[in-house]
Amino acid sequence: IQRPKGVDEWADKHNAKFGPAKYQLLDASHRKEPPTFEPKKLVPIPRFGLKLGPNVIKSSTSVKLLGVHLDRELRWREQGAAALAKGQSWLGCVGRLARSSRGIKAGPMRRLYRGGCISRVLYAADIHDLVFIQLCSLYSIQSGFSRICLCDCQLPTRAALAITGALSSTPTDILDAYADLLPVEHLVRKVRYGAAMCLTTLPETHPLHKPVANAAKRYLKQHQMPLHELMHDFKIKPNEMERVKAVRFGANWESGVAVVKPGSKDEALEAEAADTARWKVYSDGSGIDGKIGSSAVLFRDGEEVHVARLHLGQDTDHTVYESEGIGASLSLGLL
């Protein structure tokens, strides 16, 4: 901080001011040692403060960084307790809004729970919820954090009771089915999978691109990081993924083709019957039985003139969106 070209020098050049009194110090270590007169007992090693000028920064048991609570031993107990508190607070609001007499219907309550409660409780789940998944599968209550996780498993059940208005004795699997909610294990895996895909699709200019690629390349036998667990849990290979460029248009772009979208199937049939054009062409693209294909048909005066078909390949290599575009190209070729 105080070295040449350090944080303080950068702050002076950029007209910024840091408050050392608000600094937080975290000394992370699993190391333990016996006290002086108790050789059979192990306690955490003593942590000392850091002096910066007139300020002394004391070592904290846990700090909050970007919404995540980090403790000295990275056991995630504080993060689990904070997530549980957020979930209970949201469930209190959900319970008041979902009253059977004059409350909100099940559909809006489900969207509120998914968009509000789940996003807050499972925030940064790709970092700390690996232990959560293991404990949910084993239902172990050997430590304080596992008890928090076991209580956290009850949050979706209480939310499903509030959404459906069912009896508290209703089995959890039936509640999840009627409330259209995922079981807690699958819910956590879904959130972690989304985080893994976001990390995998980062551009090469992003600082995390190289660490993600290295973590996905091989799994370490010891001292695995959450990034290793995340990549190998879902067997994601960034170098084997196809990168599809996004289709972009300017703000003033206008299509040269008139596009008409009927409101229903009946309206589409009526518009087709009212069309008196001599030449008509129809195209489509779809996927079935793991195969992707496109086709186009040309009509003249209501009679079929020519048909074009193209089998693109397996659905692992092509998409239906791609087949739709190729179907339009086939129709232009027929014309």
Burial of 164 (0-12, 13-18, 19+ CB in 10 A): buried
Q: Are residues 53 and 158 in the same domain?
A: no
Specify the pLDDT at position 137. 44
User: How many folded domains does the chain comprise?
Assistant: 3
pLDDT digit string (tens) for 167-205? 878 887 888 888 888 887 788 888 888 888 888 888 888
- Rounded Cα distance between 166 and 174, Å, is 10
Residue 295 has pLDDT above 90, yes or no: yes
Q: Are residues 150 and 169 in the same domain?
A: yes
Burial of 193 (0-12, 13-18, 19+ CB in 10 A): middle
Distance of CA 155 to the CA centre of its chain: 19
Specify the pLDDT at position 292. 92
Last residue in a domain, options 174, 200, 226: 200
Is 122 part of any domain?
yes
Q: Count of alpha carbons within 13 Å of 185, Cβ hemisphere only? A: 9
Last residue in a domain, options 159, 180, 200: 200
- Rounded Cα distance between 220 and 229, Å, is 9
Q: Around Cβ 129, how many Cβ atoms within 10 Å?
A: 27
Specify the pLDDT at position 124. 80
Last residue in a domain, options 160, 176, 200: 200
- Rounded Cα distance between 252 and 249, Å, is 8
Residue 149 has pLDDT above 60, yes or no: no
Segment 4-12 mean pLDDT:
81
Q: Are residues 30 and 153 in the same domain?
A: no
Residue predicted with more confidence, 314 or 7: 314
Q: Are residues 127 and 182 in the same domain?
A: yes
Is 226 part of any domain?
no
Q: Which domain holds residue 18?
A: 7-60
Residue 223 has pLDDT above 60, yes or no: yes
pLDDT digit string (tens) for 225-247? 788 888 888 888 888 887 777 77
Is 247 part of any domain?
no
Six-digit token string for 285: 């693209």
**What are the backbone angles phi and psi of residue 256, rounded to the nearest 5°?**
-85, 0
- Rounded Cα distance between 136 and 245, Å, is 39
**pLDDT category of residue 128 using cuts at 50, 70 and 90:** low
Q: Are residues 188 and 76 in the same domain?
A: yes
Is 246 part of any domain?
no
* Contact predicate 34/43, CB 8 Å: yes
- Give the chain's length: 335
Q: Which of 47-56, 98-107, 140-149 has the lowest mean pLDDT?
A: 140-149
Is 124 part of any domain?
yes
Q: Are residues 169 and 93 in the same domain?
A: yes
Helix, strand and coil percent figures for the chain, each rounded to 5? 45, 15, 40
Specify the pLDDT at position 153. 59
- Rounded Cα distance between 137 and 118, Å, is 19
**pLDDT category of residue 140 using cuts at 50, 70 and 90:** very low
The model carries a pTM of 0.65
Is 216 part of any domain?
no
Specify the pLDDT at position 307. 92
Intra-chain end-to-end CA distance of the chain, in Å: 70
Pick the closest to residue 312 from 281, 284, 287, 331 (CA basis). 287
Six-digit token string for 260: 């008409």
Specify the pLDDT at position 294. 93
Return the C-alpha torsion angle 256, 262, 267, 270, nearest 10: 10
Q: Are residues 195 and 91 in the same domain?
A: yes
Q: Are residues 122 and 156 in the same domain?
A: yes
Is 211 part of any domain?
no
Residue 93 has pLDDT above 80, yes or no: no
* 285, β-bridge pairs: 294
Is 14 part of any domain?
yes
